[in-house]
Amino acid sequence: MTNLTLTNVRPMGAAATNLHIADGRFADAAPEGAEVIDCGGRILIPGLIEAHTHLDKSLLGLPWYRNEVGPRLIDKIDNERAVKVSLGLDPRVQSERQAIQSVAFGTTHIRSHVDVDTHHGLAGVEGVMATREKLAGIVDIEIVAFPQSGMITRPGTVELMDEALSMGVEVVGGLDPCGIDRDPRAHLDAIFALADKHGKPIDIHLHERDALGWLSMEEILVRTRAHGMQGQVTVSHAFCLGAADRAAVAALQDQLAEARIHIVTTAPSATTVPAVKELRALGILTGSGSDGIRDTWGPYGNGDMLERAMFIGLRNNLRRDDEVELALDICTHGGAAVMGIDSYGLTPGCAADAVLVEGETVAEAVALRAPRKLVLKGGRVTARDGACVLDAP
């Protein structure tokens, strides 16, 4: 069913019209005999882009995990490595559970950071790869090899990352070069070398605040230029861009724009965050993601990227309709641009990846986190009325 005509549909809240899908792509006309779906005047938005999550370690579907973890980042990292063993967490099953829930909420593309460490090796990568294969045609999953437990401090991790990239992982990950590895030079040299060797882009977690984060950012900038990787490096979280010293941040942001570094924000409300309107004004590609969903780090999150747009709006004080539309754009076109997804959108020629939502306007759909009536992936119906066509394991 990849030939469709959607009738009485409102693309991005515009006036009702008909849209055609031929061979899984939006088209000027549908082939004869295309199936017709009456959209009842609902709004069509492009498929939601989950540009930062951790499919391998959600606890979805398991009995409640009572969180009694300490307050430091390293407490959470050490606890997680242990709990994976004590709970017998299966990355294949968990990633499938989370991905199916995301599809039900309208997600068509996921970038997942997947733990690579000397304790669990490549089990996470193998599990998410199996899910990726199983869900082909339902949701696209891109994998980042993510050294969650540190890389330089845990010898053998770089070799595992190298192996993961040889296996088909698409992106080189990294994590707090100063805060975790306490060696920005060695950490960043290692990940840029991996990127060089495999010809793959980089997406690095950067939780470091204020001046510590700026140092890491500057070192990332130096290497991005030296390796000619402009447009191929993403910094996730980037809390240091929310620092109070806006003059210092502005100087840094100008350099990020010039080096075409992308930013992915999860818009957490308890810390400083990049100001998305500033990033967009500078032309810095900006996406968003759910981060961890119901895991050992915390109980929150559900994979709903329409709700994430609301969080972006709340966190950035976006109240006007045009501002709320910007928040959604970060969760659609912004994330797609960061991930380099081709032919994305609702215009003829684009892949028919789209979500039908309730609401009078796009802003209302975001504010209500409106029910998803239908989700399409390449013109195929992947979810109806909030339920994925596949059952979770």
Nearer to its own copies, 21 or 279 (CB): 279
Work out how close the CB of 197 gets to its own copies at its nearest, in angstroms, rounded to a whole number. Answer: 37
Work out how close the CB of 71 gets to its own copies at its nearest, in angstroms, rounded to a whole number. Answer: 9
Work out how close the CB of 46 gets to its own copies at its nearest, in angstroms, rounded to a whole number. Answer: 21
Residues found near its own copies in the complex (CB under 8 A): 63-64, 66-69, 244, 267-271, 294, 297-302, 310-311, 313-317, 319-322, 324, 360-361, 363-364, 366-368
Backbone angles phi, psi at 185, to 5 degrees: -65, -50
Work out how close the CB of 45 gets to its own copies at its nearest, in angstroms, rounded to a whole number. Answer: 16
Nearer to its own copies, 189 or 364 (CB): 364
Nearer to its own copies, 287 or 301 (CB): 301
Work out how close the CB of 341 gets to its own copies at its nearest, in angstroms, rounded to a whole number. Answer: 28
Nearer to its own copies, 67 or 153 (CB): 67
Dihedral sign of CA atoms 227, 114, 276, 370 in order: positive
Work out how close the CB of 282 gets to its own copies at its nearest, in angstroms, rounded to a whole number. Answer: 20
Which residue in the block uniquely carries the two structure tokens 């939780």?
A: 207
Nearer to its own copies, 299 or 386 (CB): 299
CB 116 within 8 A of CB 147: yes
Work out how close the CB of 290 gets to its own copies at its nearest, in angstroms, rounded to a whole number. Answer: 13
d(CA 106, CA 14): 20
Nearer to its own copies, 63 or 228 (CB): 63
Work out how close the CB of 57 gets to its own copies at its nearest, in angstroms, rounded to a whole number. Answer: 15
CB 327 within 8 A of CB 316: yes
d(CA 72, CA 291): 18
Residues contacting 379, CB < 8 A, separation 6+: 1, 2, 3, 4, 21, 23, 24, 25, 352
Work out how close the CB of 294 gets to its own copies at its nearest, in angstroms, rounded to a whole number. Answer: 7
Q: Is 72 exposed, middle or buried (0-12, 13-18, 19+ CB in 10 A)?
A: exposed
Nearer to its own copies, 214 or 311 (CB): 311
CB 303 within 8 A of CB 53: yes
- If residue 172 lies in a helix (H) or strand (E), which one and from where to where? strand 171-175
Question: Alpha carbon 95 to chain centroid distance?
Answer: 14
What b/e readout covers 273-296, taking b as 16+ CB neighbours within 10 angstroms? bbbbebbbeeebbbbbbbbbbbbb
Nearer to its own copies, 58 or 232 (CB): 58
- Cα-Cα end-to-end distance for the chain: 25
Nearer to its own copies, 33 or 63 (CB): 63
CB 4 within 8 A of CB 33: no
